[in-house]
Amino acid sequence: MFDIQATLKWVQGVLTDPNGTAAAYREPLPGWQQTFVQIVLPVYAVAYLAAVLVAWLTGGTFMLGSTALFVFSLIWVLVWTFVVAFIFDFLAGNFGGTRNYDAAYAVVGLAIVPAALGSAIGPLPWLGWLISLAAGIYSLVLAYRFIPGFLALPEDARVKHFVLSIIAAFVVNLLVTLTLGGLFAPSFDAPSFSPDSDSSSSSSSSGSAGGGLFGGFERQADIAESAANDQYEPPADGKLTDDQVKQYAYVMGKTRELRSRLTQRFEDAQNEENEPSLSDVFGGIGDAVRAGTAEMEVVKTAGGNWAEHNWVREQIETARIHQDLNETTRHNYALFQRYADQFEN
């Protein structure tokens, strides 16, 4: 049952005494339904309505003029809280913690408060995106603090659990953005765990200049968006050219180098004697995300066509399997063999 006084109590508690509030919320631990009704739904509903009002008063941008986009974005950001909670819960069971969806959703419900409130200020010109970004980062910090207490996660698994959780959340977010973004406004961005992307169009342009976790995420998202827009019309005979195979071999070699460097940097951070700082944790998340999209990054930063690259990969793999099935596979396999040493190394 919804109780406005309880909502205000928990929201104020998260903002003024997060650790004490989290401890109080665990005893007794409410079900996920209560967390949703008591905290997540009202906080986001108020924040989104406030963001529209701020945008209207200041001339900022927050999905004005598109009721469908507004409704979809609000629904999706609420659904997103359940997705993130599932990821926290599922991975906790794989890192020696206790699986408890109610507890995982409580982590999300409490930690998301600053990010949700930050989205209300996001449409403010110039400073809105920065405040929203800071609120989103603080939400991540709170989640990192809350998870061990709610999910009984061992201290030595805390960093890896958090890093993998955020990576998984980012990947799902990216897939939704690429799949559904074209149905609405061109500037549509699906929400991340810190949904500052709903703030304003100026946040995208200004934020891209920044570094750190969110700057890295935005860069990878821009690369993915550019790759999703690539088109390629393959030749009717399905035959590769020497330049295509040569370029593909080059990309795969650079991809291995980039992934190896990023993975080694992440492993080195985990092997340090001292507990990694939050800066180290967030840096590791950014590196891990880059490692996951390294092939796409290599293609796009070299000015390549992602659609063509994927077609070349398919043709090479088909040729490697069948070799002399027909004239096309014989031709493509011969080109592959010409650069086979670069593929295997």
pLDDT tens digits for range 175-189: 776 666 555 444 444
Amino acid sitting at position 196? D
- C-alpha Rg value of the chain to the nearest Å: 23
Distance CA(285)–CA(301), nearest Å, equals 21
Same domain, 202 and 286: no
Distance CA(1)–CA(225), nearest Å, equals 42
Give the residue carrying structure tokens 């990576």: 167
pLDDT at 102: 94
pLDDT at 164: 83
Is residue 221 a part of any domain in this protein?
A: no
Is residue 280 a part of any domain in this protein?
A: yes
pLDDT at 36 over 70: yes
The pTM score is 0.57
Same domain, 323 and 184: no
The whole-chain average pLDDT of the chain stands at 78
- Residue partners of 70: CB distance under 8 A and separation at least 6: 48, 52, 63
> Where does a domain end: 160, 184, 207?
207
Same domain, 86 and 177: yes
> Where does a domain end: 185, 207, 229?
207
Same domain, 56 and 147: yes
Distance CA(268)–CA(264), nearest Å, equals 6
Distance CA(288)–CA(270), nearest Å, equals 13
CA-to-CA dists, residue 239 to 230, 281, 309, 335, angstroms: 20, 46, 14, 10
For 122-143, give the DSSP string: TTSTTTHHHHHHHHHHHHHHHH
- 3 state SS of 91: helix
> Where does a domain end: 161, 192, 207?
207
Structure tokens at 54: 């701020």
Amino acid sitting at position 259? R
Same domain, 131 and 189: yes
When pLDDT is averaged across residues 303-322 and rounded to a whole number, the result is 90
* Positive or negative torsion for Cα 27, 115, 297, 316: positive
Is residue 160 a part of any domain in this protein?
A: yes
Same domain, 173 and 265: no
What's the structural domain count of the chain? 2
Is residue 311 a part of any domain in this protein?
A: yes
Q: Which position has the higher pLDDT, 171 or 151?
A: 151
Amino acid sitting at position 152? A
Distance CA(176)–CA(306), nearest Å, equals 19
When pLDDT is averaged across residues 92-120 and rounded to a whole number, the result is 91
**Predicted confidence band at 273 (pLDDT cuts at 50, 70, 90)?**
low
When pLDDT is averaged across residues 306-319 and rounded to a whole number, the result is 91
Q: What distance lies between CA 234 and its chain's CA centroid?
A: 32
- 3 state SS of 217: helix
pLDDT at 220: 63
Is residue 38 a part of any domain in this protein?
A: yes
Same domain, 39 and 113: yes
Distance CA(303)–CA(309), nearest Å, equals 11
Same domain, 192 and 246: no
Domain that holds residue 328: 242-344
Residue 17: left (phi > 0), alpha (psi -120 to 50), or beta? beta
Is residue 143 a part of any domain in this protein?
A: yes
Same domain, 29 and 170: yes
Same domain, 203 and 257: no
Same domain, 42 and 104: yes
Is residue 225 a part of any domain in this protein?
A: no
pLDDT at 200: 34
245 close to 338: Cβ distance less than 8 angstroms: yes
217 close to 292: Cβ distance less than 8 angstroms: no
Is residue 220 a part of any domain in this protein?
A: no
Structure tokens at 58: 């200041």
Same domain, 106 and 190: yes
